[in-house]
Structure 1
């Protein structure tokens, strides 16, 4: 469907339903992430057998990437668009395939789901989840990083993801591969950047763990840098894409109705 089609704003009931779905998806993502970190990095038969940090990150990256792809492809993900990331929600709005009136409800739902997902994981797995090295799956950059250095790194990480996903969403034959692409990109970010910047690229990914664990250092960077990077990348794509505009929802399964960039 052309991105110049007449807009069809979401009704309040649709916005509420889809926001609740995003809440559920974020809850499952953070429960899954915390569970993966608990068993791969925390004390367990896996961490005892695989002691090299690089191999542990590889397992975490592969597992989280597969989990995220599955959430995007799930019935809930296909209904809501499968954002599960405030920065992606903002980017989809900037791509003009997502209504502005739904941006704040989606982001609020994703952040709330993030907190509850970590709390549920802590309840299920017990005190080990809150103790080092798990620390409720909270992220932190490697030694020597400052907030001013971390901000552009995190912004650039999400910008690369948004530009890549935007390209796939603008080429019809590539659209079906978007859910797998998202999992691959997130997995690579974890593997390549996990010990460097933390490899967050998702404000909801860090919000719940930081809030529950009390690790507030760099939180403002992890919350805002991906939003800035995603927005700028979407604007860059829209400015130079020519006829290759984004015309599909993030889940990549069907065309999206265009929406005005405001309201």
Structure 2
């Protein structure tokens, strides 16, 4: 069972060259992803003055995030596993595919990458606001929490099916594409309600730069819960002890 394989790791692990390279890869992948995703929303706002809450703005956000995540996962896959998301890292930890200490290193790199991307966007656009994620009118924090849990469940379930499962075979080739597609589809489904984050680091960067923390807990708790449930469900039902071989950190 997944819980039985959870590993804390050793302090020396954080200083190993491969761990540092993996964290650096996560930093750059997150920077690429957030710069593209957040930047698309800022560009749309500037061009239309109508905001990204319009149907066309929602489609633009979905496409930008899908394309950006496809690239970000692809360029980091051979170094760090291409998590590009603290929730994915948490799901990998729950499934025994990464140690806690290495996961914390990833989290720090991912959050820093998001903050740097937002700072670069603010500087490059002459001080335009990097809007923090927020709830739409009539949507409560608990409504948004359910959205984030379900959407992140779908994302991490896809990650497990296409990238983690040792029986994935040739399907692993399309893992970055599938991961990008599920994020784009979820944005179309939930973007009008809570912004459809599914990624605590993506929410963290804009919140830091704009210093706006309203309901920010939703964008951490929801994705982490959804990721944990997806990891436990997929690992327990579809991988299991009899067929699972722990993956090396080079694979994920």
Q: Same fold (TM over 0.5)?
A: yes
Q: Residue 196 of structure 1 aligns to a residue in which SS?
A: helix
- Does the aligned pair in 2 maintain the 1:20–1:109 contact within 8 Å? yes
Give me the whole-angstrom Cα distance separating, in 2, the residues matched to 1:237 and 1:87: 15
How many aligned residue pairs are there?
Answer: 237
What aligned pairs does 1:1-263 form with structure 2 within 5 A after superposition?
12-40=16-44, 42-44=45-47, 47=48, 53-74=54-75, 76-127=76-127, 129-130=128-129, 136-169=130-163, 170=165, 171-241=168-238, 242=240, 245=244, 255=251
Q: Structure 1 pair 245/178, CA: closer, same or farther in 2 (3 Å)? A: farther
Q: C-alpha root-mean-square deviation of aligned residues, in Å?
A: 2.7
CA distance in 1, matches of 2:41, 2:144: 22
Q: Which structure is higher in RCO with an 8 Å CA cutoff and minimum separation 6? A: 1
Q: What's the TM-score, normalizing by structure 2?
A: 0.84
* CA distance in structure 2 between the partners assigned to 1:137 and 1:195 by the alignment: 15
Residues 225-258 of structure 1: CA deviation (Å, up to 9, x unaligned):
10111012101111111466586689xxx845xx
62-71 or 168-177: which moved more?
Answer: 168-177
- State the 1:99 CA deviation: 2.8
Q: Do 2:148 and 2:198's aligned partners in 1 also have CA atoms closer than 8 Å?
A: yes
Counterpart CA distance in 1 for 2:199 and 2:100 is 19
Unaligned runs of 5+ in 2: 1-6
Cα distance change of structure 1 residues 126 and 245 upon mapping to structure 2, 3 Å threshold: farther
Q: In the aligned structure 1, how far is the partner of 2:203 from the partner of 2:20?
A: 24
Gaps of 5+ in 1: 1-6, 131-135, 257-263
User: Per-residue displacement from partner, 1:208-232 (whole Å, max 9, x unpaired)?
Assistant: 1011112211111102210111012
Q: Tell me how far apart the structure 1 counterparts of residues 157 and 138 of structure 2 sit (CA, whole Å).
A: 29
Distance 1:145 1:14, change over 3 A: same
In structure 1, distance between residues paired with 2:175 and 2:147:
24
